[in-house]
Copies of this chain bind each other. A is one copy, B any other.
């Protein structure tokens, strides 16, 4: 929380209003979805009228981008602290699920339907790199090596995304599998595709996780 609140009282007030705006924005998103986010409604809730918000955000897109950044930071921090307290891959996965269930729309803000033209700012991709790094750490720690397959051979030649991480190809593969499989279960659960199906999503998530932990590749 020790974000740069410069001694300047003007600046301090400014950041405080910004965070209050974002707080209301998160509430709106959580209840009605990102598409229903309205600057006017936020302004009304804060007792000030319309265009005042443009002193704090360049526009709707800028606010949403800031929320995406915040979501990425929150996820990265969640996984970082989990990893720092000696969590293995399984604990990391459960931390991810808990974080996602805490606010499904926040999860979808990161991993949900993209807007065709939109390209995330550079600093955001940096945070996503950190997330990938903690995932790669947990995967290399789990099983240093594994059997070579067609895809691990391909990854050997295309490991730029690992950003110099010393993970062996099998760990790279496992990291990708963890990411996509957990996202597969999680996103469909959060989207409500499992409701009325009868089975327990938590058990299915655990089963997928067990499978990821057990297998060599």
Contacts and interface: CB of A to CB of B under 8 A. Distances in A.
Interface in A133-163: 149-151, 154-155, 158-161
Given A33-B116, A155-B199, A203-B150, A181 B181 contact: yes
Interface residues of A, number: 55
A46 B31 CA distance: 36
Interface stretch (A48-56, A66-74, A79-87, A186-194): A186-194
B33 A113 contact: yes
A17 interface: no
A112 to B, nearest CB: 3
Given A35-B35, A181-B181, A191 B111 contact: yes
A97 interface: no
Interface string A182-212: 1111011011110011111001101110010
A180 B208 contact: yes
A161 B33 contact: no
A192 B119 CA distance: 10
Contacts of A35: 35, 115
A211 B217 contact: yes
Number of copies: 2
Given A158-B200, A180-B181, A207-B150, A32 B116 contact: yes
A108 interface: yes
Contacts of A183: 184, 187-188
B197 A188 contact: no
A211 B180 CA distance: 14
A140 B152 CA distance: 30
11 contacts: A105-B116, A111-B187, A111-B193, A112-B112, A161-B198, A177-B211, A179-B188, A180-B184, A182-B184, A184-B187, A211-B217
